[in-house]
């Protein structure tokens, strides 16, 4: 008798991405990253945007602020302009990339310690790398740029690189889903706060550099569409809209995790869970 093969669902894809995501996301908060960018000449003490934007954009080469604004999507033009002003005069994209990987190495060693010496790290890196072979570059600019970079030699950095690819692949798909629904970057940020499960308005508005006038105008626009109440919370219709976007994002991420199948996804979660927990326990993620 043939045993039915379990179906890889969008929910499994999301759960697998979420489990390993701290191994990528920590680079945006790690003090090691700020130290490395500062050493290149970026004034990250005055504004962390001067490290964040060039470091994430560097895989695309010496791109303009216009390209960054389009591909990062939910940041204000002011935030991008501040972060990218003179960025490539200070350091080349390759220098910034090298600094980013040095920071990832240092940060993961600090937060994960001896866990990085476990044989499961190499296995997790191989599984995550296999998942990236299911990703295609079409309409996925940030994924495509990072996919063109050489793979690091050390297993924990291979895992970091693979998760970066998977995150940007998913992120590019998320933007496609938002655009399909006619949502602007600012409106996406406002609805992210309305969800109420992570960022506060104060934190997200500050990091995306939107004024109170811009933020309030976006709330009014979403109220007129029937998606928000005046206090910025979701209506039933708005919550359903956001769920449609999230569901479509999950579907668009499936090609990567289909390369692993249900069992492979489960194994990747098992192997990365202790590492991600170590990152979270060490304060490697900061939600405001």
Residue with tokens 């890889």: 8
Q: What is the pLDDT of residue 120?
A: 95
Residues 6+ apart with CB under 8 A from 142: 56, 59, 60, 71, 168, 171, 172
Coil vs helix vs strand at 73: coil
Q: In this structure, what token pair is assigned to residue 66?
A: 């216009």
Burial of residue 230, with CB atoms counted within 10 A of its CB: 0-12 exposed, 13-18 middle, 19 or more buried: exposed
Strands (E) across 176-286 are located at none
- Rounded to whole angstroms, the Cα distance separating 136 from 34 reads 31
Q: What is the pLDDT of residue 288?
A: 55
For residue 8, report the phi and psi dihedrals to the nearest 5 degrees.
Answer: -80, 115
Q: What is the pLDDT of residue 199?
A: 78
Domain ranges of the chain: 10-180+246-281
Which residues of the chain register pLDDT less than 70? 1-5, 287-288
For residues 55 and 37, the answer to whether their CB atoms sit within 8 Å is yes
Task: Measure the CA angle with vertex 121, ends 116 and 122; round to 5°.
Answer: 125
C-alpha closest to that of 100 among 145, 134, 138: 145
Q: What is the pLDDT of residue 287?
A: 57
- Rounded to whole angstroms, the Cα distance separating 172 from 170 reads 6
For residues 239 and 233, the answer to whether their CB atoms sit within 8 Å is no
Q: What is the pLDDT of residue 196?
A: 77
Q: In this structure, what token pair is assigned to residue 274?
A: 């202790």
For residues 82 and 208, the answer to whether their CB atoms sit within 8 Å is no
Phi-psi region of 194 (alpha: psi -120 to 50; beta: other; left: phi over 0): alpha
Q: In 10 A of CB 204, how many CB atoms?
A: 19
């Amino acid at each position: 008798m043939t045993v039915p093969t379990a179906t890889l669902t969008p929910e499994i894809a999301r759960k697998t991405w979420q489990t390993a995501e701290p191994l990528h996301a920590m680079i945006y908060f790690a003090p090691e990253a700020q130290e490395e960018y500062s050493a290149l000449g970026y004034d990250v003490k005055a504004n962390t945007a001067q490290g964040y934007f060039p470091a994430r954009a560097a895989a695309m080469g010496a791109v303009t602020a216009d390209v960054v604004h389009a591909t990062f999507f939910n940041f204000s033009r002011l935030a991008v302009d501040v972060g990218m002003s003179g960025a490539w005069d200070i350091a080349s994209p390759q220098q910034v990339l090298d600094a980013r990987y040095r920071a990832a190495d240092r940060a993961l060693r600090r937060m994960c310690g001896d866990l990085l010496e476990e044989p499961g790290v190499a296995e997790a890196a191989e599984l995550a790398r296999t998942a990236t072979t299911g990703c295609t570059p079409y309409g996925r600019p940030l994924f495509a740029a990072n996919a063109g970079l050489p793979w690091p030699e050390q297993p924990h950095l291979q895992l970091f690189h693979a998760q970066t690819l998977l995150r940007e692949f998913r992120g590019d798909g998320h933007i496609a889903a938002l655009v399909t629904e006619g949502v602007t970057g600012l409106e996406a940020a406002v609805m992210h706060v309305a969800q109420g499960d992570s960022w506060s308005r104060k934190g997200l508005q500050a990091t995306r550099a939107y004024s109170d006038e811009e933020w309030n105008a976006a709330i009014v626009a979403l109220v007129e569409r029937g998606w928000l109440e005046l206090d910025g919370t979701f209506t039933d219709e708005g919550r359903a809209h956001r769920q449609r976007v999230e569901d479509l994002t999950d579907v668009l991420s499936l090609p990567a995790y289909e390369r692993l199948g249900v069992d492979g996804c489960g194994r990747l979660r098992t192997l990365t869970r202790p590492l991600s927990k170590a990152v979270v326990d060490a304060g490697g993620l900061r939600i405001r």
